[in-house]
Amino acid sequence: MTRTEYKQTRRLIRDNGRYALRWIQGQARIEWDVLLFNIQDSKDPLSERQSIVAYCKREGVAYTFHHLSN
């Protein structure tokens, strides 16, 4: 896969999510499927921070972004 093909594929996936795998052919489809599956199972720090902020707002707890950094 060339750099141009990689960038086009990455943009396609960013815009369409896993649905974009239907338009990717051959070995590239298998590799992107593995990458997306592993990313899905990994810990998502942004969603974790979002849940912390939502909890603090719901409970009326004062917080700063320094509390959120690890």
Q: For the chain, give every domain's residue range.
A: 3-68
User: What does the alpha-carbon distance between residue 59 and residue 12 come to, in Å, rounded to a whole number?
Assistant: 40
Determine the distance from the C-alpha atom of residue 1 to the mean position of all C-alpha atoms in its chain, rounded to a whole number: 22
Q: What is the pLDDT of residue 15?
A: 92
pLDDT in tens, 3-41: 898 899 889 988 998 889 899 988 888 888 888 877 655
Check residues 66 and 24 and name the one with the higher pLDDT.
Answer: 24
